[in-house]
């Protein structure tokens, strides 16, 4: 039996961007809302993310000079989603996305800045070279007051002594050039000094960027509105009667509780990236016995999906890709722990190539993480393990680093000793240490170098799109993505398959109403975020295609719930 009972208008399960955006909009529309979070911290996967939103036609990009049309955006989404193109949902997204951005900018602490990100496939009809992706504005978490201690820290493996880098890539160039430019050196010294001061005073960085800034800004908006975020609170059961979903039962610091929700329950628990049993059904490389290493929070074990299924909701594994694939490596962290490092930047740099265990290149390394991940899965379809090795020479290592290994002058000894970073004087020896066919590796590098010396990738045309070039090195001529691999010693990092979040999910109406397998609506049960099937149909068209729709449909769902409440109250008053 529950020891406590609370009555609210709306229960939101999950405190990432989906849950918090829905809660904030619903509260602004007059609903009494509570957010329940399983983890001891709030922010969900959002706090680990790049904090980028893909919102065609948004006012932030337009004010920065971007030019776009709804027809072009619609054409691009139709081409990218293929047979899974949902005309109604896409039209709502394109209409309500810009409206959502303006709502948050004008009414909350959530603020955005423009980016220069191209679409990931800018040559596809409807694609653009700039203007659809925006980024959460950096934030000083001291504005959260004591609540800052409950903000999920950024992903440890991609920070430097806990310091975050802006996912727009604007300040990373200074760190890469710190030993070559006085301006960059001064920039880095100032950043490090400020960060060390923050660590001394607050035991963490307080000037946050990327997804940590978005999560903090959403949380600040919620707290400003008086929305409680109850952490370490697990939802154990949905309460259902003949009228639909009436609330939830929970376990947490206050014991067992019951929350009755007059207007319903919103599931936003982050999908199923850590649900090991469901991954065996959804991920082809896990089905065949390979490993999967997700940097998503460990708490994202599919609770929202299971809760929805428990009352008859329709969950489907149907997309060509069940998740946003991310190549990852496994660096050693302090205290004997193993981290998960997402390869977001190194693959684009000139002089870095990827090979399979046969020693062959198999894809354009400068395509998006999702595309490279899909290529890994296809290339390893007949192998037990889905894997590749990223390889570079000493010159490239010193300038850019590789994976978790930082560029000069940072030491590499511990990473080499741990086995994370493989080092060898010759390519043949590197191959032998990695278990790669040594002769084929030498041949592959020789063939690659023939074009690379002239700045060309003769096999995969690397560097020929604006997106390939965006995260490369603009100072490297003639091709910012291509340089030969020729000056030993040589280095390698073993890369596996991971994800940034799941795409398959609960089937819903465009308003987020959960659907049964027969297509009927489960009254008062709503789904947002990664618990809901992605509008992108298992593809990854551009930076922020997860968070953009998540906030947009959080906004749409909250307004729909509020409209339903107003309609019900009107009928009651009429009676």
Q: pLDDT digit string (tens) for 248-280? A: 999 999 899 999 999 999 999 999 999 999 999
Query: Chain-centre distance of CA 465, in angstroms?
Result: 22
Q: Tell me, what's the pLDDT at 167?
A: 46
Task: State the average pLDDT over residues 22-34.
Answer: 98
CATH superfamily of 230-322+501-574: FAD/NAD(P)-binding domain (3.50.50.60)
Condensed to tens digits (0 to 9), the pLDDT of residues 119-154 reads 999 999 999 999 999 999 999 999 999 999 999 999
Q: Is the pLDDT at 571 greater than 80, yes or no?
A: no
Structural tokens at position 121: 């496939």
Report how far residue 567's alpha carbon sits from residue 145's, in angstroms, rounded to the nearest whole number: 38
pLDDT above 70 (res 179): no
Q: How confident is the model at residue 159 (pLDDT cuts 50, 70, 90)?
A: low
What's the Cα-to-Cα distance from 102 to each of 15, 25, 105, 123, rounded to whole Å? 22, 12, 5, 29
- CA dist 94 and 552 (Å) reads 9
**Which is higher by pLDDT, 189 or 41?**
41
Residue 2 — very low, low, confident or very high, per pLDDT cuts 50/70/90? very low
- Average pLDDT value for residue range 102-125: 97
Mean pLDDT of 411-434: 97
What is the CA 200 to chain-centroid distance, rounded?
A: 30
In DSSP terms, which residues pair with 542 in a beta bridge?
119
pLDDT single digits (tens) 57-75: 999 999 999 999 999 999 9
Overall average pLDDT of the 83-91 stretch: 97
Tens digit of each residue's pLDDT (9 = 90 or more) over 424-465: 999 999 999 999 999 999 999 999 999 999 999 999 999 999
Task: Please state, rounded to an integer, the average pLDDT across all residues of the chain.
Answer: 93
Task: Give the pLDDT mean for 558-563.
Answer: 97
Give the pLDDT confidence score for residue 203 in this predicted structure: 73
3-class secondary-structure state, position 16: coil
Whether pLDDT at 201 is above 90: no
Percentage of the chain modeled with pLDDT above 70: 92
Over residues 379-386, mean pLDDT: 95
The model's confidence at residue 78, banded by pLDDT at 50, 70 and 90, is very high
- Indicate if the pLDDT at residue 372 is higher than 90: yes
pLDDT (tens digit per residue) in 283-318: 999 999 999 999 999 999 999 999 999 999 999 999
230-322+501-574 matches 326-499 in fold: no
User: 436, 444 in Cβ contact below 8 A?
Assistant: no
As given in the structure block, the two tokens for residue 82 are: 């293929």
Q: Are 39 and 87 in contact (CB under 8 A)?
A: no
Average pLDDT over residues 490-495: 98
Q: How large is the angle between the packed helices 438-452 and 427-434, nearest 10 degrees?
A: 130
Share of the chain above pLDDT 90, in %: 87
**Cα(132)–Cα(64) distance, integer angstroms:** 11
d(CA 466, CA 481): 11
Confidence of residue 158 (pLDDT cuts 50, 70, 90): confident
Residues contacting 125, CB < 8 A, separation 6+? 75, 76, 79
Q: How confident is the model at residue 190 (pLDDT cuts 50, 70, 90)?
A: confident
Residue 34's alpha-carbon distances to 259, 344, 394, in angstroms, are 9, 35, 54
Total length of the chain: 575
Q: What is the pLDDT of residue 205?
A: 76
What is the dihedral angle through the alpha carbons of 553, 554, 558, 561, rounded to the nearest 10 degrees? 60
- What DSSP state is assigned to residue 118? P
Helical (H) or strand (E) element with 458: none
More confident residue, 306 or 182: 306
Residue 1's pLDDT is 35
Record the tokens describing residue 409, joined without a space.
Answer: 């002058």
Token digits of residue 502: 């799941």
Q: Which residues contact 238 (CB under 8 A, 6 or more apart)?
A: 245, 247, 248, 265, 307, 310, 311, 525
Q: How far apart are CA 472 and CA 395, in angstroms?
A: 16
CA–CA separation, 85 and 68 (whole Å): 20
Poorest-confidence range of 195-209, 301-315, 333-347?
195-209
Ordered by start, the domain boundaries in the chain are 165-201, 230-322+501-574, 326-499
pLDDT confidence of residue 147: 97
Cα–Cα distance for residue pair 62/149, rounded to 1 Å: 36
CATH 3.90.700.10 fits 326-499, yes or no: yes
Q: Taking a C-beta distance cutoff of 8 angstroms, is the pair 248, 235 a contact?
A: yes
Of the candidate ranges 119-133, 189-203, 236-250, the one whose mean pLDDT is the lowest: 189-203
């Amino acid at each position: 039996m529950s020891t406590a009972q609370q009555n609210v208008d709306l229960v939101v399960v999950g405190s990432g961007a989906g849950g918090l955006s829905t809660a904030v909009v619903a509260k602004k529309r007059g609903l009494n809302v509570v957010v329940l979070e399983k983890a001891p911290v709030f922010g969900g996967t959002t706090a680990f993310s790049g904090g980028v939103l893909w919102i065609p036609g948004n006012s932030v990009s337009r004010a920065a000079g971007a030019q776009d049309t709804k027809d072009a955006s619609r054409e691009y989404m139709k081409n990218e989603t293929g047979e899974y193109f949902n005309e109604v949902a896409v039209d709502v997204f394109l209409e309500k996305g810009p409206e959502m951005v303006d709502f948050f900018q004008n009414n909350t602490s959530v603020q955005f800045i423009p980016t220069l990100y191209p679409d990931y496939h800018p040559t596809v009809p409807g694609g653009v070279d700039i203007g659809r992706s925006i980024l959460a504005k950096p934030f000083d978490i001291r504005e959260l007051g004591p609540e800052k201690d409950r903000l999920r820290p950024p992903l440890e493996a991609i920070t430097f002594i806990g310091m975050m880098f802006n996912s727009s890539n604007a300040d990373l160039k200074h760190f890469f050039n710190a030993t070559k430019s006085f301006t960059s050196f001064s920039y880095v010294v100032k950043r490090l000094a400020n960060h060390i001061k923050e660590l001394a005073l607050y035991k963490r960085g307080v000037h946050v960027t990327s997804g940590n800034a978005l999560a903090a800004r959403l949380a600040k908006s919620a707290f400003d509105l008086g929305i409680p975020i109850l952490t370490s609170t697990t939802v154990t059961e949905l309460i259902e009667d003949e009228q639909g979903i009436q609330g939830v039962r929970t376990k947490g610091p206050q014991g067992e509780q019951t929350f009755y929700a007059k207007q319903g329950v919103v599931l936003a628990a982050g999908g199923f990236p850590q649900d090991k049993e469901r991954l065996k059904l959804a991920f082809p490389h896990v089905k065949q016995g390979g490993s999967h290493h997700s940097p998503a929070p460990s708490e994202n074990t599919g609770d929202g999906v299971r809760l929805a299924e428990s009352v008859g909701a329709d969950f489907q594994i149907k997309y060509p890709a069940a998740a946003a694939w991310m190549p990852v490596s496994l660096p050693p962290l302090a205290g004997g722990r193993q981290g998960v490092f997402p390869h977001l930047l190194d693959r684009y740099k000139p002089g870095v190539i990827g090979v399979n265990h046969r020693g062959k290149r198999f894809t354009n390394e400068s395509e998006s993480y999702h595309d490279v991940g899909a290529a890994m899965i296809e290339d390893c379809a007949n192998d037990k393990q889905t894997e590749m090795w990223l390889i570079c020479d000493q010159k490239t290592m010193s300038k850019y680093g590789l994976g978790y290994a930082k560029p000069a002058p940072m030491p590499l000894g511990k990473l080499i000793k741990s086995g994370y970073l493989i080092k060898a004087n010759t390519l043949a020896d590197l191959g032998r240490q990695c278990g790669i066919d040594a002769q084929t590796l030498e041949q592959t590098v020789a063939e690659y170098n023939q074009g690379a010396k002239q700045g060309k990738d003769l096999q995969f045309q690397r560097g020929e799109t604006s997106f390939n070039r965006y995260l490369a090195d603009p100072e490297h001529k003639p091709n910012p993505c291509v340089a030969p691999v020729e000056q030993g010693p040589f280095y390698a990092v073993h890369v596996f398959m991971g994800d940034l979040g799941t795409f398959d999910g609960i089937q819903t109406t465009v308003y987020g109403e959960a659907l049964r397998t027969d297509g009927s609506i489960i009254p008062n049960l709503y789904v947002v975020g990664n618990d809901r099937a992605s509008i992108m149909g298992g593809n990854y068209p551009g930076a922020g295609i997860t968070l953009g729709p998540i906030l947009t449909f959080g906004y749409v769902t909250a307004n729909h719930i509020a409209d339903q409440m107003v309609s019900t109250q009107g009928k009651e008053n009429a009676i």
